[in-house]
Amino acid sequence: MTSAPDFPRIELPEMTHENPSGTTDAWFDRTMHMDQYGARLPFGSLGAKGLTHRFVELSGADQGQELDVLDASGGYASACLGAGSPVVGAALTRAVAEAGYVTDEIHSWERAKLLAFLFGEGGLWAERFPADQYHVAGRNSGSEGMELALRLALEHRFDHRRLRPAEGRGQRDIVLAFEGAWHGWTGGVLPLLNKRHYRVGLPSVAAEPYGFTVRHIPFGQVDAARDFFARHGDRVLAVVVEAVQGDAGIIVPPAGYLREVARLCTDSGALLVADEVLTFAKTGQFFAMTDEQGPIPTDVTVVGKSLGMGALSTSMVIARRHLTVRATGAISTSDLRPLTCAVIRAGLEHIQSEGLLERSRELGEHLAKRLDEELVTPYPELYTESRGAGVMHGVELTRRAADRLGELRETMIRSGVFVEFMGGAGRRSGNLRYVFPTMRVAPPLICTTADADAVVERLAAGSRRFLETHA
């Protein structure tokens, strides 16, 4: 296991300050940083190294007490190489000194090296995305990547020169999404989210003349997909799918489902957009749109989170060459910046040379077994089932645990492990069962078997402690 590093020391008086409303608060970021959670956790981070966070209690009787906490979250599943990666550090240092910062109006040697490494002859992803069929763009975040993917779909039914619907595509006004979907929070993708909580009260895209209507079908039900296409296939512009649903509770679809969705798209002339922002490099392979037959073909694939190696926020949109935007219509300052390219390339080369994906595949099998044996079986009061692969697992909570989610999280941290919780798909149609919030166990790719065992032991200890204190 990674040994605990040295962290800055802070003294108790430095921990609190008077905030603008005259009351005492912990740390200034608590006052200044907009609270988007409603209830933040009462801990501060002093830093992290490898898989270990050094947290400190910010309030209560234990205020000032420091905790070493194992990371099974990876910062919303983005820090695939953990904290303080020398590989990322060296790439950043070199690129800041040498790479420059031209936008894509000027060719960049650093960008060329990354794209050749990925899509050139013999490239890492060249088989899945041959360079004569696909091209790419970069964005700042997963949400922006998904916005560009949608934009490509909308532009596809549009004649850029005449500024009117393209011949024969004008009637394609449906974007098909799935119940429980999460694709980011920005305006364009909002209508794809089918939870009222995420959407109601916020503007949606105009339905006509060039907007789209979003329809949701239950995820993982092949009959529902076939039925929808049988009735509306000629109106479907695009299907937007997460290969494994994240926010819905790490929901893995049945074998064959994604390939059948791809076939329905091809047969009806709809575009298939895969949101692999979360699943990228998480399921034991780079792309979760894969089955025993190999890559499942997509028209657009968006990857993010781990792509930035935990150091940069970035995403990449890989789209068929015929999918483009109108000239100058979607230029972004941050489209594959040379510095970003250098970090991505160094990280991916490292993942490849160290065999981290292959290792995470085996780790995933081990983790799935341990989560079942150490959490789901012994604690039926708290957990209903675990699912997932690689370094992306979900342990679904019971109603009892879901009702006290905040306390459960705090107990886990005090037991030495940091996990995040997904909202859960809730009640859906198609007789799909209610999905409660789900604990996401998604350690960085550098996690070893010993680390994974320690994560599970601490989760089990936290579960015991939670039950003792909430009998």
Chain contacts with ligand PLP (rule: CB under 6 A): 76, 141-143, 146, 182-184, 242, 246, 275, 277-278, 304
Three-state DSSP string of the chain: CCCCCCCCCCCHHHHEEECCCCCEEECHHHHHCCCCCCCCCCEEEEEEEECEEEEEECCCCCCCCEEEEEECCHHHHCCCCCECCHHHHHHHHHHHHHCCCCCCCCCCHHHHHHHHHHHCCCCCCCCCCCCCCEEEEEECCHHHHHHHHHHHHHHHCEECCCCEECCCCCCCCEEEEECCCCCCCCHHHHHHCCCHHHHCCCCCCCCCCCCCEEEEECCCCHHHHHHHHHHHHHHEEEEEEECCECCCCCECCCCCHHHHHHHHHHHHCCEEEEEECCCCCCCCCCCCCEECCEECCCCEEEECHHHHCCCCCCEEEEEECCCCCCCCCCCCCCCCCHHHHHHHHHHHHHHHHCCHHHHHHHHHHHHHHHHHHHHHCCCCCCEEEEEEECCEEEEEECHHHHHCHHHHHHHHHHCCEECEEECCCECCCCCCCCECCEEEECCCCCCCHHHHHHHHHHHHHHHHHHHHHCC
For the bound state, the minimum distance from the C-beta of residue 124 to ligand PLP, rounded and expressed in Å, comes to 22
Decide whether 74 or 462 has the Cβ nearer to ligand PLP. Answer: 74
Minimum Å gap between C-beta 186 and ligand PLP is 7
Q: How far is the CB of 145 from ligand PLP (least distance, A)?
A: 7
Provide the minimum distance between the beta carbon of 162 and ligand PLP in the complex, in angstroms, as a whole number.
33
Closer CB to ligand PLP, 342 or 392, in the complex: 392
Query: Closer to ligand PLP at the Cβ: 188 or 233?
Result: 188
The residue (of 52 and 314) whose beta carbon lies closer to ligand PLP is 314
Question: What is the smallest separation between the CB atom of 426 and ligand PLP, expressed in angstroms?
Answer: 17
User: Minimum distance from CB of 262 to ligand PLP (Å)?
Assistant: 18
By beta-carbon proximity to ligand PLP, the closer residue of 144 and 173 is: 144
Q: Which is nearer to ligand PLP, 246 or 388 (CB)?
A: 246
